[in-house]
Chain A
Amino acid sequence: MARSNEPAFWSLFSAGGMVAAFLFPAAIFITAYMVPAGKIEADNLRMVMSHPISRLLLVAMISLPLFHWAHRFRFVLVDLGIKGFKLPIAILFYGTAVGSTICAAYLLLV
């Protein structure tokens, strides 16, 4: 039996899960509480986030959870009992993640 190339998708899935679990709560805390409460100036935050490294981080924060979603939904469909269509399903879900990553990168980096 050949070894699988699944680690490529699984590592993106894992990374996305880490982002969603650790970085999202921090981002929500900052944007939904710290800024409206006046503890962080919105202009300061905007300045920090307009730095190229911050923008790159934002692209990763948007992209990786999308791969997490794609991987999870692919296997939710398996768990729901959908047999076959493995390739079209994979192309649709991972394709959405790739497309959204390109959009995010275009909007934030170009």
Chain B
Amino acid sequence: MATTDTQSSTKTMKLEVFRFLPDEGEPPSFQVYEVPYRDDWVVLDALNYIKDEIDGTLSYRWSCRMGVCGSCGMMVNGEPKLTCSAFLRDYYPQQIKVEPLSYFPVIRDLIINMDHFIDKMGEVKTWLIPAEDKPIEDGEYLQTPAQLAKYKQFTMCINCMLCYSACPVFGQNPDFIGPAAIALGQRYNLDSRDGGADERADVLFSDEGIWECTFVGECSEVCPKNVDPAGAIQMAKVTATNDWFKSFLMPGGRKKSGGNK
């Protein structure tokens, strides 16, 4: 616990934290806090220490503390990180700079507005659109391990948005559908039970979709779950290109498109 080790710990560490309190009318600024250093602490532990012991006005999102919920993403020394997985020992004794995720509007302190990201998932339709309607009495939709393996990697996404903060293309064009939403689109496009590839293609294969990507690849570098969104986007580009050529070869070819299951 944060409070018990203050006596035993003599080493300390400084955190430079981005502050923005719109209610107080002050412009954004940085505030430096000194926290105890423990080699098993992560940046989130240090933030919790600040909140509990030094400054209760500091706001940030967190929940699970174990890299599963995707809530605590922040810029740590300029890199998008889950703060629950960024250990102080990897930075000690240097000062750590903590900022809200890049390229998103800031609501308060380290909390960003994620509304557009949620909207994008809605546009891409990142949910299962059944290929065939089947009454419940007919039983479950069966899938082989090989069919599962095609998309399983993309199911690991926890919507932490680190990939958006790492993406210079998103930084320039906030309308870019972006790495996670595209990877999740691929997750369902590649699912043998899904029949929604064509609906998704209108968004995924638009200029604001995969074609905005310049294959910088940073999304895959920062992904804490090894989803490899950059790979998903490249796969989708091949599918989109095949569809595009097919639409010339076959009348109506553009109508039935999308999946490479």
Contact = CB atoms under 8 A, between A and B. Distances in A.
Q: Which secondary structure characterizes the binding site on chain B?
A: helix
Interface of A: 1-8, 10-11, 14, 75, 78-79, 81, 83
6 contacts: A3-B254, A6-B207, A7-B243, A7-B244, A11-B245, A78-B172
Contacts of B208: 1
Task: Tell which of A1, A8, A83 has the most Cβ of chain B within 10 Å.
Answer: A1
A4 B214 contact: no
A45 B234 CA distance: 38
Contacts of B206: 1-4
Contacts, number: 49
Interface in B201-233: 201-203, 205-209, 211, 214, 216
Interface of B: 168-169, 172, 201-203, 205-209, 211, 214, 216, 237, 240-241, 243-245, 254
Contacts of B202: 1-3
Contacts of A75: 214
Contact of B214 (A11, A79, A81, A83): A79
Contacts of B207: 1-2, 4, 6
B189 to A, nearest CB: 15
B259 to A, nearest CB: 15
B209 A78 contact: no
